[in-house]
Amino acid sequence: MIELARLREASEEVIATLAKKGFDAGPLVEQALAYDAERRQLQKSLDEARSQINQLSKAIGEAARRGATAEAESYKAESTTLKATIQQQEAALRETEAKLHELLIRLPNPPHPSVPGGRSAAENVVVSQNAYPLLPADGRLPHWELAEKRHLIDFERGAKVTGSGFPFYTGDGAKLQRALIAFFLDEAEKAGYLEMEAPFLVNTDTAFGTGQLPDKDAQMYYVPLDELYLIPTAEVPLTNYFRGEILEEAQLPVKICGYSPCFRREAGSYGKDVRGLNRLHQFDKVEIVQIVRPEVSYEALEEMRLYVESLVDRLELARRTVLLCGGDMSFASAKTYDVEVWSPAQQRWLEVSSVSNFETFQSNRMKLRYRRGKATDLVHTLNGSALALPRIVAALLETHQLPDGRIRVPEVLQPYLKKAYL
């Protein structure tokens, strides 16, 4: 959610910047500023009326002590009249504030100046790529066939037990999941992130705080009886950890990480996109989150990007990183890198991580601030997948399969799996 002050002081700039996301903010901004002006006027006259009533109340108390009953009664009458006005103004103010809020939450986060223009993924910019070759398909089995054949994943029974997109991982398949999670968490800890295990269900305030609500509610599983959402990513509970708090400057940067299953309804997905592990309703992921001072958030973004890249590289997978263009970015992000791995059998790139700086978009929703001298200021929040498992597994199986059908385990995972081949 954009800061009101920024909107007031630089509305033209905000509109121009949002055009990069393909969003026409003009009418919305104009309307918001009008409500803001109205709100302030209402606030002012309401405050004045309240001030009067406060003074009257004091006078009543004082008169009553003196025994000046008639005087007190006349004040009371005055106060009662005033109160009716106040109630009217309060209602008007509430209404205006609600309308303003409605508009503000519909405004996407303006992208950072370094974000390229563009309408779709085709216009994303490749910023780095590692040296591993983009293997040809040749005789390689796609991961869904290989995984069934080697009894690593059981898609069919998952579909029976729950539904499509909820696979069982069996035997070494399950162990591979555990190995990857442990590897990712261990590395994150070495990189300075505090490990947390977060709740996997969250309330509506939390879902609003990181921007899942209101616009992405169809993406989340919901438990109506308890009004809780299954998390689509650990970003949600982790970033909300300090929601509503004022942090001391010395506490920053906050660096936390956590493993969680991720639940996504993925309504409307179909075809080759959802084949095998390409898109699931439940998957495992390790997430990293940083909460930092605004001045250093873009340094933090680069640090996180490099860290995520190093993880993929050590799994010996062909990898590239793209900087998302304005049109391909999410509503909440100011700048996003996607890290992708090469799927030889599918002959295409699979996104395994998204690393984003949200600047104050989330912190303003969450009212997460830090003390800067005498004042307080909103922090910047960032997060990144480090990493999401299914597509890593897909690339791993397809990349490291041997002609004899076995799958070579990348060196860094061998200590976890205690074997060199699956």
Partner RNA sequence: GGAGAGAUGCCGGAGUGGUCGAACGGGCCUGACUUGAAAUCAGGUAGCUCGCUCCGCGGGCUCGGGGGUUCGAAUCCCUCUCUCUCCGCCA
Interface positions with RNA (CB under 7 A): 4, 40, 43-44, 46-48, 50-51, 53-54, 56-58, 60-62, 64-65, 75-76, 79-80, 83, 246, 369, 371, 374-376
Q: In the complex, what is the shortest distance from the CB of residue 290 to RNA, in angstroms, rounded to a whole number?
A: 22
Asked if 194 and 257 touch (Cβ cutoff 8 Å), the reply is yes
CB of 85 to RNA, least distance (A): 12
User: 264, 305, 319, 320: which is the annotated catalytic residue?
Assistant: 264
Say whether 64 sits in a helix, a strand or coil.
Answer: helix
Instruction: Find the catalytic residue in 6, 45, 351, 371.
Output: 351
> At closest approach, how far in Å is the CB of 231 from RNA?
17
Query: By C-alpha distance, which of 405, 337, 422 is closest to 140?
Result: 405
Q: Is the CB of 57 or the CB of 347 nearer to RNA?
A: 57
351: annotated active-site residue: yes
Quote the least distance from Cβ 174 to RNA, whole Å: 21
Rounded to whole angstroms, how far apart are CA atoms 153 and 171? 9
Q: What distance in Å separates the CA atoms of residue 173 and residue 152, rounded to the nearest whole number?
A: 4
- Select which of 39, 150, 279, 305 is catalytic: 279
Catalytic residue, from 39, 150, 305, 391: name it.
Answer: 391
Is 391 a known active-site residue? yes
CA dist 40 and 34 (Å) reads 10
Comparing CA positions, the residue from 265, 276, 289 lying closest to residue 390 is 276
Q: Tell me the C-alpha distance between 126 and 245, whole Å.
A: 38
Does 264 participate in catalysis according to the annotation? yes
What type of residue is 373?
G
Distance CA 44, CA 82 (A): 15
Closest contact distance (angstroms) between CB of 60 and RNA is 4
Q: Reply yes or no on whether 348 is catalytic.
A: no
* Active-site residue, selected from the candidate residues 79, 333, 354, 356: 354
In the complex with RNA, the residue whose CB is nearer, 85 or 310, is 85
Closer to RNA at the Cβ: 65 or 190? Answer: 65
Q: Which is nearer to RNA, 267 or 375 (CB)?
A: 375
Three-state DSSP at 151 gives coil
Helices 11-19 and 26-66: angle between axes, nearest 10 degrees:
140
Of 70 and 267, CB closest to RNA: 70
216-225 long-range contacts (CB < 8 A, ≥24 apart) are 216/331, 218/265, 218/267, 219/264, 219/265, 219/266, 219/267, 220/263, 220/264, 220/265, 221/263, 221/265
Place of tokens 């009008």: 34
Residues designated as active site: 264, 279, 351, 354, 391
